[in-house]
Amino acid sequence: MAGEVSFNRDIRPIFLKNCTACHGGVKEAGGISFIYRERALREGESGKNAIVPGKPESSEMMRRIRSTDPDEMMPQPKHGTPLKPADIKLVETWISEGAKWEEHWAFMPPIEKKIPALKNESWTTQALDRFVLHSIEQNKLTPSPQASPAEWLRRVSFDLTGLPPTIDQLKELEAAWNADGKAAREKVVDHLLASPAYGERWATVWLDLARYADTFGFEKDPHRDIWPWKDWVIRSLNADMPYDQFTIEQMAGDLLPNATADQILATAFHRNTQTNTEGGTDDEEYRVAAVIDRISTVWTTWQATTFGCVQCHSHPYDPIAHEEFYEFMDFFNQSEDSDLKNEYPKIKLVGDEWVKLHRETRALREALDAEGRKISDTPWKILENISFAPQHGTMRMDQDGMIFSEGNLRSGTTHKISGHLPKIDALKISIYPQSDNPKNWPEIGAFVTLFHIDKISTDGKRTPVPMGEVIADHLSGSTDPMSAFAQKGIGARFQRFKDPTGRDGATSGLGEFPRIAGPRKFVILPENQITLQPGEFIEISLKQGANANESQTAYVRKFKIEVTEDARYTALRSNPKRIETWQKVFDNLDRMLALKGTEVPVMADRPAAGKRETRLFARGNRLTKEQVVKADVPDLLRGNFPKKEEANRLDMARWMVSTQNPLTARVMVNRLWGEMFGIGIVETMEDFGTSGTLPSNLALLDHLALRFQGEHKWSIKKALREITLSSTYLQTSKATPALLERDPKNQLLARGPRNRLSAEMVRDQALATSGLLSKKMYGQPVYPPQPAGVWNSVYSGANWNESKGEDKYRRGLYTYVKRTSGFPGFLTFDAPSRDVCSARRIVSNTPLQALVTMNDPAHIEAAAALAEKMRQHSGEIDAQISFAYLTVTQHQAGPHIIKELVALYQDLKKETPEAKGSMGPDPALTLTANTILNLDAALTK
């Protein structure tokens, strides 16, 4: 028996079934875990070693699994049943052979397996066919015969474009099929791959993964303009953007050097997370929820690894440690977005112009701050005779000059602070979180929405002090601190510093909003030096008008105000070069505001000085934070990822598409395969880990993956071309009862695929075959007819305003996606709600689907249009029916089908001989067409 036991095949399944629930990633009972070899081999709490390689007789594990003593036996009786004798024997052999550990297949690099000579070598067309045939022959099966041109054409048209072929396309293929079938098929495939419909069909797959929707989600579920990203996906797929680039741009396009507007737009992938605008919801809670959703989505989409569970504890089955979740989280934790209604940060789409201006302005602005921060040794002082006048609540100052503001502070509360210094060149406001312990950060925001100074002369006369500029410790969030100055003239200019995409007055100001994650410091320069005579004083007004969580005043609770006499500041303020730079900033902002374009939420990281500290959450609870962690990838898949101080999303994206990553290519080719064959080579397309299903043909998967990242240079079209032109794909789907019994899911691939159309395809086919389909691409989502009353969110005035003209007949992927209320016809056909990443639509078969295709007015309209085409085609009912059947299914209707449908028409005609409403001039013919569109042959590909 020596050398016959395989850890992956024989032993790991035994561990998973019987042991890891207690000795795994979540619990390590007795100090033993069967996830890592060293933890399985080490001395347990009992002082004994569970496994001693080579020595089953000394291995505690063997004694325990053989024991019948209820106190000793494993698994414990309350946790499971004893191991089968055969399994015990396997474990024993494995230990005696040295307890060799193997990594789970998916975490090891793909290998091109050599396939020996095959009996039926001539059957193969593509290299992949040899892998399939090898498995077919090993299972003592034979491939099925070739599909007919009609069967193959229907299949390949839907698979590549999501649309049925036309009768002309069918005729052309049939004419060329016998002479040179291969060439004829190549022509078809190349034509389909070049069709714009290709990008539309495959975009749908990506939109499910990206949880794309046209709304924020949650209670009010307001509208979100993010459709330009959907257009980006369609365009990129049609241009066959290599998958590595497709990945990098979506993951971190904003971090690419001199990123184009398109590259930044690509990152909107991550902004498809939900934003909770329900009053009173904790902005930080939902910011973190969005970050965590990004992590789960990335791991499901690119790595097919269940990473979400590592949020609370080490992975129960796979060797991924608890802290590694948070290290990975750090990549995404730096993004600026924070669950705000304004959805900052956004990009304005007007070619690259806005992006260039924005980048330039930001650099100028940061340079201005940096120059200001060079003055670092100024003697800051507390105002003499300082006094406080809070509008609400109380204020007090301690001996260090720290000011505390407490009590019921309504939104808009203005605090006044007065005091004296003969000459003031600059003021400094330092805003602190209440707690000194960083583990308690972030706290609710501390934000001054208006900052204003009056000079009060001895006679009580009040003169506003013109304000100059703010030198910030760093710039983050949607507002420039300069926007806190609201005086006329200069203030109005600064108001433009509000959210650079131009909105949200309530959050203009300085401080940190909606959360404060550490002390912030702002030096404020008046336009000119302030000079005060004895008896004169200044009065500083701090208005606090911003509401975090849409309900709680984000006021400054703990802060310092200091002043200085330091001519360097006034000199800096009046430096002509600096004034010129400011002017350039203002001009740029004017130009950016004047540009008209759709604003789309995208990724943008906080600046280095304003980085968020990422801490491990104890048991996944964000309110109990532990040590600080740094961005990193899990050791399990490290490959060549460098251990460096500051890794960012771009580093991570490049790691993901490096040839060292064993998962990315496999996961993608498995997805392409699953979309066409109805079942992935790994059935659990979302989970390649040890808890997922094993690949039905690992050699085939590896071959496809290696070709995808090698020869094809990540070209999705080339990968699809090879699959669709394979002998495997060319087989007929007809199944004999014996084959069906042997291989119900068609994993041995001894027949072609036969699957139900997707939700979008069902609709698109009805529109296409009836001639109603609009070819218009891209743009705003559309509102095809939907029953009244489906859209009824609370606190939302949004209405389903039915589209007019051709927008009524656009392809399914352009239909408006509202998260809390999906398009009923699609949900019924298993389309996901797009709340979270969906890697696989599990196909159901329900009576509600029948009701949609029989009665949905859109389907009736299509049937009426098809009936009209039938009438135009011929005056004879027989010819009309075979024409419709051919149009819809691409198959010639046999005599029995024609007879059945003619009889149907004639019976119906007796019932309703005349025109009627939506059923058109000949309701009987419309209902006959509707029947054809409901046939199994019409609903499958």
| Site residues (CB under 8 A) for other proteins, limited to 688-707 | 689-692
Is 414 a binding residue for other proteins by CB under 8 A? The answer is no
**In the window 76-95, what residues touch other proteins (CB under 8 A)?**
81
- Which residue's CB is nearer to other proteins, number 483 or number 930? 930
| By the rule CB under 8 A, 842 interacts with other proteins | yes
For residue 728, how many C-alpha atoms fall within 13 Å in the half-sphere facing its CB? 24
Question: Of the two residues 39 and 557, which places its CB atom closer to other proteins in the complex?
Answer: 557
Paired residues of 629 in beta bridges: 614
Secondary structure of residue 148 in the 3-state scheme: coil
Among 855, 872, 874, 892, binds other proteins (CB under 8 A): 855
For residue 674, report the phi and psi dihedrals to the nearest 5 degrees.
-60, -40
- The yes or no reply on residue 856 touching other proteins (CB under 8 A) is yes
Residue span binding other proteins (CB under 8 A) among the ranges 374-382, 639-647, 667-675, 911-919: 911-919
| Minimum CB distance to other proteins smaller for 75 or for 228 | 75
Length of the chain equals: 941
Give the burial class of 86: count Cβ atoms within 10 A of its Cβ; 0-12 exposed, 13-18 middle, 19 or more buried.
exposed
347 binds other proteins (CB under 8 A): no
**Which helix (H) or strand (E) covers residue 416, if one does?**
strand 413-420
Residue 262 binds other proteins (CB under 8 A): no
As measured in angstroms, the least distance from the Cβ of 733 to other proteins is 6
For tokens 């998973």, the residue is 16
Residue found under tokens 């193959």: 152
- Binding flag, residue 10, other proteins (CB under 8 A): no
The single residue among 551, 624, 640, 874 that binds other proteins, judged by CB under 8 A, is 551
Give the contact letters, 616-635, x = binds to other proteins (CB under 8 A), - = no: ----x---------------
DSSP per-residue letters across 271-313: GGS----STT--HHHHHHHHHHHHHHHHHHHHH----GGGGTS
Backbone phi and psi for residue 423, each to the nearest 5 degrees, phi listed first: -130, 130
Interaction residues for other proteins, span 875-904 (CB under 8 A)? 896-897, 900-901, 903-904
Give the nearest distance from C-beta 615 to other proteins in angstroms.
19
User: ∠ CA 415-416-417 to the nearest 5 degrees?
Assistant: 125
Pairwise CA distance, residues 85 & 100, whole Å: 21
917 binds other proteins (CB under 8 A): yes
367 binds other proteins (CB under 8 A): no
Q: Residue 256 or 798: which CB sits closer to other proteins?
A: 798
160-179 residues in contact with other proteins (CB under 8 A) are none
Segment near other proteins (CB under 8 A); pick from 1-9, 362-370, 378-386, 406-414: 406-414
> How many H helices and E strands in the chain?
31, 21
Q: What is the DSSP string of 473-510?
A: S---SSS-GGGG---TTHHHHHHTTSSTTS--GGG-SE
Query: 308 or 500: whose CB is closer to other proteins?
Result: 308
Residue from 70, 643, 788, 799 binding other proteins (CB under 8 A)? 788
- For other proteins, the closer CB: 257 or 789: 789
Instruction: Find the binder of other proteins among 67, 76, 463, 846 (CB under 8 A).
Output: 846
Q: Does 477 bind other proteins (CB under 8 A)?
A: no
410 binds other proteins (CB under 8 A): yes
Q: Is 131 in the site for other proteins (CB under 8 A)?
A: no
Cβ atoms of 198 and 237 closer than 8 Å: yes
Q: Binding marks (x or -) toward other proteins, 647..686, rule CB under 8 A?
A: ------------------------------------x--x
Q: Choose, by CB under 8 A, the member of 820, 880, 882, 887 that binds other proteins.
A: 820
CB under 8 A: which stretch of 84-92, 134-142, 235-243, 921-929 binds other proteins? 921-929
Closest listed residue to residue 225, CA positions, set 597, 783, 605, 646: 597
φ and ψ at residue 133, rounded to 5 degrees = -65, -40
Residue selected from 156, 471, 667, 927 as contacting other proteins according to rule CB under 8 A: 927
**816 residue type, one letter:** Y
Considering only residues 210 to 249 of the shown chain, the ones binding other proteins according to CB under 8 A are 217-219, 221
- Paired with 541 in beta bridges are 416, 452
- Mode of pairing for the β-strands spanning 426-431 and 558-564: antiparallel
CB closer to other proteins, 204 vs 709: 204
* 146, 552, 715, 774: residue in contact with other proteins (rule CB under 8 A): 552
**DSSP secondary-structure letter at 56?**
G
CA separation for the pair 784, 312 (Å, rounded): 43
Nearest to 320 by CA among 309, 335, 304: 309
